[in-house]
Amino acid sequence: QVQLVESGGGLVQPGGSLRLSCAASGRTFSRYTMGWFRQAPGKEREFVGAISWTGSSTRYADSMKGRFTISRDNPKNTVYLQMNSLKPEDTAVYYCAAERTSVVHMNPAAYDYWGQGTQVTVSS
């Protein structure tokens, strides 16, 4: 069982940056691929990016490449999402998720555990 808690969301102006954190419980965090997803009102949950359990492999949605960076600190049981050059269309609730596999999936159905989400609002 893994419990995930996101933090770091808030209001930011267009062009600004935010760093989200996701703290995980459990002693086997390093065996989980971690993903970030987002969901805007009236839209389906969307893949943002994911990182393998060693951190050696990452994958991003095309619209986030070059702006968002995922990293993880296994001793701290934490995964991060650094978001730069934010746009109003990035406004959403951001969720982290975990799956016990070495494969980096884009499909949310592949993930076993989810956090409660953190709101990110990009507005002037």
- Mean pLDDT computed over 19-28: 90
pLDDT per position as a tens digit, 78-109: 999 999 999 999 999 999 999 988 889 999 99
Task: Give the integer Cα–Cα distance in Å for 62 and 1.
Answer: 31
Pairing of strands 113-114, 33-39: unpaired
Task: Give the integer Cα–Cα distance in Å for 110 and 75.
Answer: 24
Pairing of strands 78-83, 68-73: antiparallel
What pLDDT, on the 0 to 100 scale, is given for residue 107?
A: 94
What pLDDT, on the 0 to 100 scale, is given for residue 101?
A: 85
